[in-house]
Amino acid sequence: MTRAILLVLDSVGCGAAADAADYGDVGADTLGHIAEACAAGRADREGLRQGLLRLPHLDALGLGGALRLSTGRVPPGFSLPPATASWGFGIERSNGKDTPSGHWELAGTPVDIPWGYFPTKNPCFPPAFVATLLAEAGLTGILGNCHASGTNIIDDLGEAHLRTGWPICYTSVDSVLQIAAHEEVFGLDRLYDLCRIARRLCDPLRIGRVIARPFVGVSQADFRRTPHRKDFAVPPPPGTLFERAAEANRSIVSIGKTGDIFAHRHTGTELKGADNDGNLDHLLDALDTVADGGLMVANLVDFDSDHGHRRDAAGYAACLERFDDRVPELLARLRRDDLLVITADHGNDPTFRGTDHTREHVPILAHCTARGPMSIGRRDSFADVGASLAAHLGLAPTATGSSWLARPASRA
């Protein structure tokens, strides 16, 4: 038997989708623009990184080829060597450009219903919603009630939160309600309980996620978010890759915020590190222990949360380079029959306007020594990833998607 590993590099998109205009994202290109910023010296930072974007191990797997196939160009720092893995790119079919829709589609279940969103006006939350939230949570008020960047609003309102005890509630162009509160003063369990109330109240509004955003510090000068973020998502549609693996009694390991994204439905053993490196460590440990037939899914969120939303091209580039440094370590842990798929769930171009996700294609790199490189090409749904992993594991097909493993093998 064999194993499957899905590694989602959160927000590492590779070029604007054909429908990007519907989302205000024409011209977005996360990887391409980061590479161009590095080549122009705009992503240099003393003590962090400088020069061209250097991702030699991902490039060897075929990332340069995936970028050219997606956008028609090879960005600076990438090349077209004979790929050691299969490569291509995926197009999102789901509505939106959020984390749940991207992950659910990768797992074989695109989102065809429209998400609900909070309006851009301030205050943005319906008065009846706020009144019920306050009453059920025993609160006298909230702060924020607007569209905002998560890091900026904590800087702006963190001290007021400490004075009043009121949680900071905000949203974005995504289908989300985020609630920030001091982990020690407000209390982590109390924040989670508040988010559970908000989750129930958001259900009729079709809001995809409620996110707890704990932070620590005593003033604007030292506020920082902690690793204890928790997502409260609506359940995914039936027929996911996770569900198929659970039906077959396979071992399942979910790493990072994966369990939260799938509302803990069939997500098996859940492990969460403090950062990308911590989550990669969990994945490496799982590769040493998970039995044949097992499924491992990991999300690496630092690209998105620490750098994409903050429009930090230098930090994003350094984060990519740090991940690339660890790719050989990851490949060395794979068994001959293991299938590793490295992809993303959406874009978050740090050179683009605003602070939100961007509607983009995603690269797909698939490595399996026993199978060798195969042609992946353009995939018209992220669901093809889930379908291919299910086929590799010999599981019942996912709800949607077409496996590239069903195609005759060819040199990528």
Length reported for the chain? 412
Nearest alpha-carbon partner for 214 in 176, 167, 261: 167
**Token representation of residue 319:** 């984060």
| CATH class of the 127-233 domain in this structure | alpha beta
CB 94 within 8 A of CB 256: no
Q: According to CATH, where is 3.30.70.1250 located in the chain?
A: 127-233
CA 296 to chain centre: 15
**Token representation of residue 381:** 């749904």
| pLDDT at position 257 | 95
| pLDDT at position 299 | 98
**Token representation of residue 121:** 């006006």
| pLDDT at position 116 | 93
| pLDDT at position 27 | 97
| pLDDT at position 364 | 98
Please list, residue by residue across 75-112, b when 16 or more beta carbons sit within 10 angstroms of its beta carbon and e when fewer do.
bebbeeeebbbbbbbbbbbbbbbbbbbbbbbbbbbbbe
Q: Can you say whether residue 124 is alpha, beta or left, with left for phi > 0 and alpha for psi between -120 and 50 degrees? A: alpha
CATH code matching the domain that covers 4-111+237-406, chosen among 3.40.1160.10, 3.90.1490.10, 3.40.720.10, 3.40.50.920: 3.40.720.10
Whether the link from the prior residue into 123 is cis, omega within 30° of 0, is yes
| pLDDT at position 411 | 35
Please list, residue by residue across 118-132, b when 16 or more beta carbons sit within 10 angstroms of its beta carbon and e when fewer do.
beeeeebbeeebbee
| pLDDT at position 408 | 42
* CA gyration radius, the chain: 21
CB 266 within 8 A of CB 283: no
2 burial (CB, 10 Å; 0-12 / 13-18 / 19+) is: middle
Q: According to CATH, where is 3.40.720.10 located in the chain?
A: 4-111+237-406
Q: Which residues are bridge partners to 377 per DSSP?
A: 88
Helix axes 99-106, 383-393, angle to 10 degrees: 40
| pLDDT at position 69 | 97
CA 281 to chain centre: 18
Q: Which long-range contacts (CB under 8 A, 24 or more apart) does 67-71 make?
A: 67/14, 67/15, 67/31, 67/32, 67/363, 69/377, 69/378, 70/14, 70/15, 70/361, 70/363, 71/14, 71/15, 71/29, 71/32, 71/361
Q: State pTM to two decimals.
A: 0.90
| pLDDT at position 158 | 97
Each of the 412 residues of the chain gets a pLDDT tens digit; together they read 699 999 999 999 999 999 999 999 999 999 999 999 999 999 999 999 999 999 999 999 999 999 999 999 999 999 998 899 999 999 999 988 999 999 999 999 998 878 899 998 999 999 999 999 999 999 999 999 999 987 789 999 999 999 999 999 999 888 999 999 999 999 999 999 999 999 999 999 999 999 999 999 999 999 999 989 999 999 999 999 999 999 999 999 999 999 999 999 999 999 999 999 999 999 999 999 999 999 999 999 999 999 999 999 999 999 999 999 999 999 999 999 999 999 999 999 999 999 899 999 999 999 999 999 988 999 999 999 999 999 999 999 999 999 999 654 333 3
| pLDDT at position 214 | 97
